Structure 1
Amino acid sequence: MKEKEWSNSVGRPSNKAQRRAEIVNALQSVIARVGYEGASIQAISKEAGIASGLVHYHFQNKQEILVELVHSLTETSVTRYEELKKNASNAQEKIEAFIDAALALGDGSNEQAVAAWVVIGAESIRQEEVRELYKFTIARQLEELRNLLQNYAHEKKKNLSANSIEHISTMVISAIEGAYQLAATASKITPRNYAATTLKGMVFSVLDK
């Protein structure tokens, strides 16, 4: 490829990549409404505005689209966290950025993605490949939180045991996953935008004992 041709192609997604992304986004929309079982290839293709045959051309089956959606949601979550973390100058602000990235409304929040993630959590019980990806995502989150908490303890000159850090990290992830479940299933009977502020308050009340 000539230099000019190569430079003009950089940063532009191929038609194939764009179509695959559209199909993945369509699955996200459908499972957020009707769950994974209700997300037929016909429903996905209708949501994407394409023929069913094109879905089969790009993906072997529905599970393959779901796996791609797990990757997509994970990348989006990490990107939001990294953007919020840019403005953090210490460990406390980075912990706040982590929680806000997961739970706060506003720029980058996506209620449909939250509902889709709840469906993915349910499917992780039934599908081994999805379960392994789900576990990997949770493991990455726990590792990041452990590092943040260790840095917080160092900056604040607090004596946090490895066991305490493990428990607090797990508590945070459990609270986030629980908030997602409520947002997807009981949003009309729970306060709006409560989760991030409440969880940050709980975490720092434990840390500052």
Structure 2
Amino acid sequence: MRSDSKPAGQRSGSFTEAARREQIVRGAVTVLAGKGYGGTSLQAIADHLGISKGVISYHFAGKAEVLHEVVRYVLAQAEAWMTPRVAAAGSFTAALRIYVTSNLAFLDNHRDEMVALTEVLANARSTPGVPELFGQSQHEAVAALQKLLEGGQQAGEFGAFSGRAAAVALRGAIDSSTGLMQQNAAFDVAAFSTELVDFFVKAARQR
């Protein structure tokens, strides 16, 4: 998800203020991962960071805006992680492999962020703007993956199939891993990644 718009409560952007906002958002991620949505308040975040609640209130209009920024932050981190890796691929087949492996590697290496995101999304109705923000991100992710798959078809690397249907299916499989990780701390993400890559690459190559 890309956006050049500033959240409503953001003050003029000095480096120090931007760093403080990011610190607060990171603190919110940790509190969400440990205490869940219900246990996350401005006071809980302040206590975790060792700052006053007033510091948070200076930078954010309230809990809803902090959580909105958590979603924006996690989505931006995922995009920054994946985009250069996929772009560096030498073929569409390699790009598909990297798309899956880098996505799942991000989820595995950022479990607190994934739990925090899940907690916010599960309570999205209480956080104005979050459903729209995440929905737009998902729409863009599916469109980008569809473009990758259809590019592989045009290059003769992939067979004939619905690029959109395949993109939706693959995104759903990747996104399901977050729930699997939460249900089982020992869930082997690397093995799941390998299985998913093998399945979708073989399916894409079928004539």
Q: Per the shorter chain, which TM-score range?
A: 0.7 to 0.9
Structure with higher Rg: it is 1
Name the structure 2 match of 1:203: 200
Q: Is the 8 A contact 2:86 2:98 kept in 1?
A: yes
5+ unaligned residues in a row in structure 2: which ranges? 1-12
- Give how far 1:148 is off: 0.3
The 5-angstrom pairing of residues 172-187 of structure 1 reads 172-187=170-185
- Give how far 1:13 is off: 5.9
Equivalenced residues, count: 194
5+ unaligned residues in a row in structure 1: which ranges? 1-11
- Give how far 1:44 is off: 0.6
- Give how far 1:49 is off: 2.1
- Give how far 1:33 is off: 1.5
C-alpha distance 48-18 of structure 1, shift in aligned 2 (>3 A): same
> Given the two structures, how large is their TM-score scaled by the length of structure 2?
0.85
> Using the alignment, how far apart are the partners of 1:182 and 1:155 within structure 2?
35
> Given the two structures, how large is their TM-score scaled by the length of structure 1?
0.84
> CA RMSD for the aligned pairs?
2.2
SS of equivalent residue, structure 1 residue 187? coil
Aligned letter for 1:181?
G
Higher RCO, 1 vs 2 (CA within 8 Å, ≥6 residues apart):
2
C-alpha distance 185-31 of structure 1, shift in aligned 2 (>3 A): farther
Aligned letter for 2:88?
N
Name the structure 2 match of 1:87: 88
C-alpha distance 192-176 of structure 1, shift in aligned 2 (>3 A): closer
Percent of matched pairs sharing the same residue: 22
Q: Structure 1, residues 109-147: CA drift from partner, whole Å, max 9, x if none?
A: 312112122223312355451111110110111011000
Name the structure 2 match of 1:145: 145
Q: Structure 1, residues 59-97: CA drift from partner, whole Å, max 9, x if none?
A: 111110111111111111111112312431111111222
Q: Is the 8 A contact 2:64 2:126 kept in 1?
A: no
> Using the alignment, how far apart are the partners of 1:91 and 1:158 within structure 2?
9
- Give how far 1:176 is off: 1.4
Matched, 1:77 2:78: yes
After alignment, is 95-104 or 120-129 more displaced?
120-129
